[in-house]
């Protein structure tokens, strides 16, 4: 049996793989593949509409918040956000919490001024900042809710910072209940909790748009995508379809409330097992640990090599830590089943007994 702990693209529900495969051969008994139908056909329009309305429902969004499925991954949002929200002479507040926040900051600097209002650089990104001082004049505050490489996550969200909040939720989207309406812009690549690579979700409060004075290329202006119902040009049809199936699956599981309870349980089990092993080091501050990406190292490179080999033999995929931090990373996204967590617990215990 295979257990997939990959950080992204990552595990998806088996039902989604089955339904998506079927749709490639014969979509909704149309005799056509999902890959060969026009995006403006009613067949596909239904997919896009259902995907957008499932996001609205699962995130309990109000009428000011628009749902878009766009190209270019979360990386495109690093520049599309400031292009749409930040004037050249204005300041945007950013939190500096790791690799992904760093990339967002770099791109924002191309469009205006960036002020770092909270940083965990001094802890080598093993914590999240807890005190932010956001200038009241900032165009927005940007946070990365879950740092996929560092294994940190915001647990107390800075809802009351006084300025619009923008969040990169790529690696924890729809994994826990948040007050999503308090965010003015949320973006997330789909390839972790929401589907296949090739599409990203953007949720935007339409009231914050139209305030910059630069000329925005048509394809990068959120207002055009809103006007066209996320069909300004040909959307990544298959990736949108897989996202729709994954959203349907999430709704069937009981939505975000239900999946959060399971995610909490999975993270709790893994962290306590790791804490109990003396030669394992958990670098992240306890209160800032990610429930999606668990990072750890061992006190001896030989043990790490042996555990990696054992994981390989036991069908545990994607457990190696990111090359920039080393060690291990277990990604516990929505679709990772409890049985995969249990299999990992057993393996860890056996390994600890032999090597303790
Ligand atoms: N933000 C975060 C938090 C991520 O984890 C990633 C990808 N792992 C990205 C942004 C970049 O996403 P993409 O590759 O879809 O551009």
Nearest C-alpha neighbor of 201 from the set 216, 211, 190: 190
Q: What is the CA radius of gyration of the chain?
A: 21
Per-residue tokens: 102: 């760093």
Number of H helices, E strands in the chain: 9, 14
Average pLDDT score over residue span 275-289: 98
Distance (Å) from CA 43 to ligand 1 centroid: 30
Average pLDDT score over residue span 26-49: 97
User: Is 84 annotated as contributing to ligand binding?
Assistant: no
pLDDT of residue 356: 77
Distance (Å) from CA 323 to ligand 1 centroid: 16
- As a whole number of angstroms, the distance between CA 35 and CA 292 comes to 32
User: Is 249 annotated as contributing to ligand binding?
Assistant: no
Name the residue of 72, 167, 171, 191 to mutate for ligand 1: max ligand atoms within 8 A of Cβ: 171
* Tens-place pLDDT, residues 224-238: 999 999 999 999 999
Long-range Cβ contact pairs of 261-266 (< 8 A, separation 24 or more): 262/338, 263/175, 263/176, 263/291, 263/292, 263/332, 263/334, 264/291, 265/338, 266/291, 266/332, 266/336, 266/338, 266/341
Long-range Cβ contact pairs of 275-282 (< 8 A, separation 24 or more): 276/352, 277/348, 277/352, 277/356, 278/356, 279/303, 279/352, 279/355, 279/356, 281/327
Q: Which residues are catalytic?
A: 100, 168, 192
Q: What is the position in ligand 1's atom list of the atom closest to the CA of 148?
A: 5
User: Is 248 annotated as contributing to ligand binding?
Assistant: no
Average pLDDT score over residue span 241-256: 98
Determine whether the shortest distance from the Cβ of 74 to ligand 1 is under 6 A.
yes
Distance (Å) from CA 256 to ligand 1 centroid: 21
Answer yes or no: pTM beyond 0.90: yes
Determine whether the shortest distance from the Cβ of 8 to ligand 1 is under 6 A.
yes
Chosen CATH of 14-252 out of 3.40.640.10, 3.40.190.10, 3.30.310.160, 1.10.20.60? 3.40.640.10
> Phi first, then psi: what are they for 69, rounded to 5°?
-115, 115
Domain segments of the chain as ranges: 14-252, 255-355
Q: Fill in the DSSP letter of residue 81.
A: H
Please answer whether residues 31 and 342 qualify as being in contact, where contact means their C-beta atoms are separated by less than 8 angstroms: no
Nearest C-alpha neighbor of 174 from the set 321, 272, 18, 56: 56
Distance (Å) from CA 78 to ligand 1 centroid: 10
Third-level CATH fold of 255-355: 3.90.1150
Secondary structure (3-state) at 110:
coil
Q: Quick check: 94 pLDDT over 90? A: yes
**For residue 182, what pLDDT band results from cuts at 50, 70 and 90?**
very high
> Residue 293's beta-bridge partner residues?
331
With a CB cutoff of 8 Å and minimum separation 6, the contacts of 181 are 60, 61, 62, 64, 65
Q: Quick check: 302 pLDDT over 90? A: yes
Instruction: Give me the helix-helix angle, 237-252 and 14-25, nearest 10°.
Output: 140
Q: What is the position in ligand 1's atom list of the atom closest to the CA of 76?
A: 16
pLDDT of residue 193: 96
The number of C-alpha atoms within 13 Å of 147 and in the hemisphere containing its C-beta is 32
Average pLDDT score over residue span 165-179: 98
Determine whether the shortest distance from the Cβ of 99 to ligand 1 is under 6 A.
no
């Amino acid at each position: 049996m295979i257990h997939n702990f990959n950080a992204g693209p990552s595990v998806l529900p088996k039902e989604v793989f089955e339904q998506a495969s079927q749709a490639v051969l014969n979509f909704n008994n149309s005799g056509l593949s999902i890959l060969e139908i026009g995006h403006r056909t009613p067949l596909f329009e239904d997919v896009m509409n259902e995907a957008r309305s499932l996001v609205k429902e699962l995130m309990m969004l109000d009428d000011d918040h628009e749902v878009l499925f766009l190209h270019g991954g979360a990386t495109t949002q690093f520049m599309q956000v400031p292009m749409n929200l930040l004037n050249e002479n204005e300041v945007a507040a950013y939190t500096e919490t790791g690799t992904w926040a760093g990339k967002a900051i770099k791109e924002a600097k191309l469009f205006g001024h960036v002020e770092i209002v909270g940083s965990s650089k001094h802890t080598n990104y093993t914590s999240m900042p807890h005190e932010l001082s956001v200038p009241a004049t900032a165009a927005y505050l940007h946070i990365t809710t879950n740092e996929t490489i560092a294994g940190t996550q915001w647990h107390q969200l800075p809802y009351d910072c006084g300025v619009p909040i923008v969040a990169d939720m790529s690696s924890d989207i729809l994994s826990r209940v948040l007050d999503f309406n308090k965010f003015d812009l949320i973006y997330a690549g789909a390839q972790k909790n929401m589907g296949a690579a090739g599409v990203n979700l953007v949720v935007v409060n339409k009231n914050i748009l139209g305030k910059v004075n630069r000329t925005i290329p048509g394809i990068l202006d959120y207002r055009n995508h809103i006007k066209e119902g996320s069909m300004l040009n040909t959307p990544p049809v298959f990736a949108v379809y897989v996202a729709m199936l994954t959203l349907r699956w999430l709704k069937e599981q009981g939505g975000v409330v239900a999946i959060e309870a399971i995610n909490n349980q999975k993270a709790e089990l893994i962290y306590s097992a790791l804490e109990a092993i003396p030669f394992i080091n958990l670098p992240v501050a306890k209160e800032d640990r990610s429930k999606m990406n668990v990072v750890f190292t061992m006190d001896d490179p030989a043990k790490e090599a042996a555990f990696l080999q054992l994981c390989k033999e036991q069908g545990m995929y994607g457990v190696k830590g990111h090359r920039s931090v080393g060690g291990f990373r277990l990604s516990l996204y929505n679709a990772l089943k409890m049985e995969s967590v249990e299999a990992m617990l057993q393996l860890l215990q056996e390994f600890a007994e032999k090597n303790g």
